[in-house]
Structure 1
Amino acid sequence: MKYLLLVSHGDFSSGLKQTLSMFAGGDPINSVIAVGLKPDEAASTLGKQFEATLAELPADAQFIVLADVIGGSPLTTVCNVLNNHGKLQDSLIIGGMNFPMAITATMSKDTLDNAALKEKIFAEATSAIKVFNTNTSLDFSDDDI
């Protein structure tokens, strides 16, 4: 089974998982794991917590990892744990985590191989970056407000 692993500093990953549950509840959200390095927490503590989480998963678990920052302590800690369990090599790891990436990964991870999933995640993430133009006239009816 493939799991989406959200990794961040602070509560970003748990907040993102909560938001994902509003869009992808039920079975898809049950395979999403959020881990975050809390302020004033040692990376080794995060590592022990993730070790405990990993121990509860099936032996054949695979991971799609979205991280807030490539090279940050949370991601390097999680990668070390995955490596120690022989799971790093088969994992897809992407930094710059945002909602479009996470929803795409959640909904597509079980139907695409990692190469196709990577392409889809990047396409969705980059196409979602837009400027909201406030200089246009918006025509709302009373029902819209």
Structure 2
Amino acid sequence: MKYVFLVSHGELAHGMHTALTMFAGENRDDILSVGLKNGMGADAFAEEVKKCLSVTGSDDEILLFADLVGGSPLTTAANVVAEMGLLDRTVMCGGMNLPLVLSAVVMKDDTDTEELIQSLLPEAKDAIRRFQISGEEPEEEI
């Protein structure tokens, strides 16, 4: 199985997880999430990550998405992944957004992992655009 594992500061990972269930279905065992709570130490967060990843099997892959490259959730999760011997089966990306993780969930089972990541990253960047509403009323045609 390929797991999508979301880590973040605060509740972002859990919020993304909830949003994913709205699009991809509830009761998905292949989506995991952990948030670094305010005041939580790195050791406590590492334990949460270990607990979350304990469901993975020896043949499973992990697509780890984090809110910030170099942030504590990603670096701590990366250390735990390495300690658990999962590094060779894990791909990590920072700067997650909903289009990125939704596409990962939808496409992960039908696409090679490296190919998947190569297609997801440009798609995630392209999903960020300015949204502008014009104040002008459209002219009515006669």
Query: Are the structure 2 counterparts of residues 132 and 85 from structure 1 closer, same or farther at C-alpha, using a change threshold of 3 Å?
Result: same
What is the rounded CA distance, in whole Å, between the counterparts of 2:26 and 2:119 in structure 1? 22
Letter in 2 for 1:130: R
What is the rounded CA distance, in whole Å, between the counterparts of 1:50 and 1:23 in structure 2? 25
Percent of paired sites with the same residue:
36
Letter in 2 for 1:10: G
Q: How far 1:128 moved relative to its partner?
A: 1.3
Instruction: Report 1:43-62 matches (<5 A).
Output: 43-62=42-61
Letter in 2 for 1:83: A
What is the rounded CA distance, in whole Å, between the counterparts of 2:8 and 2:73 in structure 1? 6
Secondary structure (helix, strand or coil) at the match of 2:19 reads: helix
- Which residue does 2:22 correspond to in 1? 22
Q: How far 1:57 moved relative to its partner?
A: 2.7
Contact 2:33 2:52 in 1 (8 A): no
Letter in 2 for 1:108: M
Matched residue count: 138
Question: Does 2:103 align with 1:116?
Answer: no
Q: How far 1:8 moved relative to its partner?
A: 0.3
Task: List, as ranges, runs of 4+ consecutive aligned residues in structure 1 with deviation greater than 4 Å.
Answer: 136-139
Query: Are the structure 2 counterparts of residues 136 and 116 from structure 1 closer, same or farther at C-alpha, using a change threshold of 3 Å?
Result: farther
CA RMSD of aligned residues (A): 1.7
What is the rounded CA distance, in whole Å, between the counterparts of 1:37 and 1:138 in structure 2? 46
Once the two structures are superposed, residues 84-122 of structure 1 have per-residue CA deviations (whole angstroms, 9 ceiling, x without a partner) of 121112311111110000101111111111221112211
Instruction: Report 1:82-121 matches (<5 A).
Output: 82-121=81-120
| Ranges in structure 2 where 5+ consecutive residues have no aligned partner | none
Please report the TM-score for the alignment, with normalisation by the length of structure 2. Answer: 0.88
Once the two structures are superposed, residues 47-105 of structure 1 have per-residue CA deviations (whole angstroms, 9 ceiling, x without a partner) of 11221222233232210011101111111111111111211123111111100001011
Contact 1:50 1:78 in 2 (8 A): yes
What is the rounded CA distance, in whole Å, between the counterparts of 1:26 and 1:41 in structure 2? 28
Q: How far 1:137 moved relative to its partner?
A: 5.4
Q: How far 1:26 moved relative to its partner?
A: 4.3
Contact 2:108 2:116 in 1 (8 A): yes
- Which residue does 2:69 correspond to in 1? 70
